[in-house]
Amino acid sequence: ILGTRWETEGLQTVGIVCLVIMFLKLMHLLGLIDITETDSSDSDLELSTVRHQPEGLEQLQAQTKFTKKELQSLYRGFKNECPSGLVDEETFKTIYSQFFPQGDATTYAHFLFNAFDLDRNGSIRFEDFVIGLSVLLRGSVTEKLNWAFNLYDINKDGYITKEEMLLIMKSIYDMMGRYTYPSVRDEAPSEHVEKFFQKMDRNRDGVVTIEEFIETCQKDENIMNSMQLFENVI
């Protein structure tokens, strides 16, 4: 995964690739089993001992691009690691940091947590997890880019500013640590952001809209290739 090309203007690829890394690492952590081994007794997705019960299987099938067996497999892994049915931010940071010991993943995990926390209540539910996972693994290009835009749009005002892009980029540098590619390490995050922000801000108004973001990304071969890496991972 980390062998994906990060060119001089590597911001456009690194953000998307790290999103995919995030989901793959979370899936590994949750111990997701092969879907052919799933017991149909879990089909109702119910747990009597948890504080939060997820929505019904049929509703989740309608909201995602996963099959019944895939949802059962995902839920089994989730409930094994998160018996309360919820993941708070501190737990999420701890989980995510385990996979990037060479750097500091705390800030990036914070931004990712906010992108996952769909209802902004300070916790990630199973529904939040599978909806996000469905977008990144099975969604259309536009759906994936909308999800990525939401990550960069830190204050959720519908625009990406240069400052927001810089915060995300710095958090990626911190997370990757010594494994950041030499060509990326040799150039400050602010220089990467300046180059790519100017590329995205087509009307030069100082902010990037969702339309500008999607249009620019769709024309970038590295981004388009990185989005196809794990479509069949489960």
Length of the chain: 234
Q: What is the pTM of this model?
A: 0.74
Q: What is the DSSP letter of 8?
A: T
Q: Are strands 207-208 and 86-88 parallel, antiparallel or unpaired?
A: unpaired
**Residues ≥6 apart with Cβ < 8 Å to 225:** none
| pLDDT, tens only, 79-134 | 777 788 888 899 888 877 877 788 898 998 999 899 888 888 899 888 888 898 88
Average the pLDDT over 11-25 and give the result: 48
**Residues ≥6 apart with Cβ < 8 Å to 67:** 35, 61
Q: Are strands 123-125 and 207-208 parallel, antiparallel or unpaired?
A: unpaired
Res. 62 pLDDT band, cuts 50 70 90: very high
Q: What is the DSSP letter of 4?
A: S
**Where are the chain's structural domains?**
11-43+55-226
pLDDT for the residue 133: 84
User: Which of 3.20.20.70, 1.10.238.10, 3.40.640.10, 2.60.40.10 would CATH assign to domain 11-43+55-226?
Assistant: 1.10.238.10
Q: What is the mean pLDDT of the chain?
A: 75
pLDDT for the residue 214: 92
Q: Is the model more confident about 182 or about 33? A: 182
Task: Tell me which range, 11-15, 28-32, 135-139, is most confidently predicted by mean pLDDT.
Answer: 135-139
HSE (side-chain half, CA atoms, 13 Å) at 66: 28
**C-beta pairs of 200-203 under 8 Å, 24+ apart in sequence:** 200/160
Helices (H), ranges, the chain: 11-29, 57-63, 68-81, 89-97, 106-116, 126-138, 141-152, 162-176, 182-185, 189-200, 210-218, 221-226
pLDDT for the residue 10: 40
